[in-house]
Structure 1
Amino acid sequence: MGKLAVAALLLFVAGCSGGSGAVPGGAGKLEALLAKAPVYAGQVTPGSAVDRIRARGKLVIGGSQDAPLLSQLDPVSGELTGFDAYLGKLLARYLLGEPDTELLSATSETREPLLSNGTVDVIIQTYTITPARRERVSFAGPYYRSGQSIAVRKGTTGIATPAGLAGKTVIVGANTPGVKAVRDAAPTARIVEFGSDPECLTALKQGRGEAYVQDQAILVADASKDGELQLVGEPFTEDPYGIGIRHGDAEFTAVVNDWLREIGESGLWQDVWRQTIGTVVTGDAPAPPAIAS
């Protein structure tokens, strides 16, 4: 979310009164998006990823169901809502003609094995594209841009910028870009890694670290439902999110990239943003990021 107005985000977080059960989206919103969704009309190569997905009759996605604004399970409808979740449904619609999906829970440690062994077709889970990951995963996109930001317990002082992390104990997600971001910004910080965002939040609230560094998109969602959390300053990196695909599958990557270009050019990407992240971030929908070659 590095291109968004951070001041607007902080104003939202400071004034939000939604409870932990608040889920973005609602009845009819996904249906309205699907009504505008394109369907793949290209040739399907026998044995290709698209062929296998069509034979199975559903798109298997590695992701989350506990990330507000991104991919969260609605306890009332039982449906996933959020930016990543809706993109997954739209991609299934593109590939199958129907939004038939199955979500398998993924973590930063399991995403790549799930792709490499064919358990999932794609990872749609705030998956930041990095050179190291490109050696193990193919990426379509980027489909969104965020950035590493700092969160602290409300009332914490002395951390106003990344330089303020120097000498502090800083919580980060294991195997996430936050590790390198903290090392680069504050080499003397003591880094403590946890396997998931909920674990990192719990550790911060328990005082096991003085700050938590994570993608701003995730932290804003966390702060929207937790009044103990406070965002500090602006993002200090720019992180592109990609759709993870099995390494070396250039054909499927091209298909997904074509879909991303199509929904970006038609305005459907912005519609998804408005129905999810845009429900709490003021201002116009940003332009989708340019798709990498």
Structure 2
Amino acid sequence: MALIRTPRRQVEAGSRLRFAGTAAALLLAATVAGCGGQSVSLPGEQSGAAPGGDSIEKALAEAPTAAPNLIPAGTTMAKIKEKGALTVGGTETAALFSLRDPMTGKLSGFDATLSQLLAKYIIGKPETKLVQVTAQTRELLLQNQTVDAVFATYTITPARAEKISFAGPYYSSGTSLLVKKDRSDIKQVTDLAGKSVATQSNSTAATTLTKLVPNAKVLLLSSNDECVQAVRQGRAEAYAIDEAILVGNVARNPELKVVGNPFTTEPYGIGLPPGDAQFKAFVNDWLRSIFASGLWERVWKLTVGTAVEGAAPTPPQPGSVAGS
């Protein structure tokens, strides 16, 4: 599995982040500065188009729909199909993964598009309804079935799998650090000793920081945006979370940078309500199908791949990590 590295650093698959220093990034930085940090789409995300002529719209149009025999009456899939939309727990502020365009209201990004593909597979159209979640609310909303699935850079762990079910993994990232661009004293996790570091409550990063740098001053906040603002405002000297999320933050906040190499492995899963083995098997089979057909790779190139040069990583196998 390829892990995204920091800007100008090679990834495992031989790719390099390309948004820093490009004309598109300069334009993006100017746009962000002009709108006071308001969420905007990354290069290529506004229209969902790629230089080769592919687009999110084309990928969705060509995506498969499940055969009727795969959706028996009375199953979760049948209930979703009957209501006409997949209720997705997610976010609208995560660049590269799930970001709402303030002009069109549309969601773009890797997680957002995958959820639309699953909706089309079940319903016949990419119809989703977003319910915003945080690291603290994801399990509860799945347990009470407020949402059908959670697509939210959601790391699979055995502890979480005791509360809900996971399909996947479908991607892998790793915890890294976000700091102000003019800082040079923080380059790796051990440099956080005695320093203030923000992360999201109930995230895997919160536990990791306690283990690796017990004397760091950890500031637990509710959301990604709050953690970014804490660094921008100087309330925290760093922000620790999945590097895939941090890369998107840098694209929206050019005064920040990602430093060091990831110091954990974070396999992302699709959160599902607990105890529904049939729905989990259905979603895992769907994941295997989009891996095999190349659809997953197309979506990656149109979203995360707009910030990473080179070939898409090899997707992980569903059920390959503890808790999946």
User: Which segment drifts farther, 24-33 or 136-145?
Assistant: 24-33
Report if the CA contact (8 A) 2:4-2:244 is conserved. no
Where in structure 2 are there 5+ consecutive unaligned residues? 11-15, 33-39, 50-54
User: Which segment drifts farther, 156-165 or 43-52?
Assistant: 43-52
Find the counterpart in structure 2 of residue 69 from structure 1.
96
Letter in 1 for 2:286: W
Distance 2:194 2:17 in 1: 26
Q: Secondary structure at the match of 2:140?
A: helix
Structure 1, residues 246-284: CA drift from partner, whole Å, max 9, x if none? Answer: 011111010000000000011100000010110111111
Report if the CA contact (8 A) 1:58-1:102 is conserved. yes
Match of 1:267 among 294, 300, 308: 294
Report if the CA contact (8 A) 2:167-2:270 is conserved. yes
User: Which segment drifts farther, 231-240 or 201-210?
Assistant: 201-210
Where in structure 1 are there 5+ consecutive unaligned residues? none
Distance 1:210 1:218 in 2: 17
Give the alignment's TM-score, normalised by structure 1.
0.95
Give the alignment's TM-score, normalised by structure 2.
0.86
Distance 1:53 1:245 in 2: 13
Find the counterpart in structure 2 of residue 22 from structure 1.
41
Find the counterpart in structure 2 of residue 283 from structure 1.
310
Fraction of identical pairs, as percent: 44
Q: Secondary structure at the match of 1:236?
A: coil
Q: Secondary structure at the match of 2:281?
A: helix
For residues 217-256 of structure 1, what are the structure 2 equivalents within 5 Å? 217-256=244-283
Q: Secondary structure at the match of 2:154?
A: strand
Structure 1, residues 211-270: CA drift from partner, whole Å, max 9, x if none? Answer: 110111110000012112111111111100100000111110100000000000111000
Find the counterpart in structure 2 of residue 49 from structure 1.
76
Find the counterpart in structure 2 of residue 12 from structure 1.
19
Structure 1, residues 144-171: CA drift from partner, whole Å, max 9, x if none? Answer: 1011000111211221111111121111
Q: How many residues align?
A: 293
Report if the CA contact (8 A) 1:37-1:268 is conserved. yes
Report if the CA contact (8 A) 1:4-1:286 is conserved. no
Distance 2:102 2:190 in 1: 40
Distance 1:4 1:193 in 2: 24
Match of 2:165 among 138, 143, 161: 138
Q: Secondary structure at the match of 1:88?
A: helix
Distance 1:124 1:25 in 2: 20
Letter in 2 for 1:246: P
Find the counterpart in structure 1 of residue 13 from structure 2.
none
Match of 1:98 among 108, 115, 125: 125
Letter in 2 for 1:145: S
Offset, 1:185: 2.1
Offset, 1:5: 4.9
Distance 1:156 1:273 in 2: 31
After superposition, the Cα gap between the structure-2 partners of 1:250 and 1:133, relative to the gap in structure 1 and judged at 3 Å, is: same
Offset, 1:44: 2.5
Letter in 1 for 2:56: L
Offset, 1:27: 5.4
Q: Secondary structure at the match of 1:12?
A: coil
Structure 1, residues 150-208: CA drift from partner, whole Å, max 9, x if none? Answer: 01112112211111111211111110011122122212212110000011111111211
Matched, 1:39 2:65: yes
* CA RMSD between the two structures: 1.7
Report if the CA contact (8 A) 1:154-1:228 is conserved. yes
Find the counterpart in structure 1 of residue 35 from structure 2.
none
User: Which segment drifts farther, 61-70 or 13-22?
Assistant: 13-22
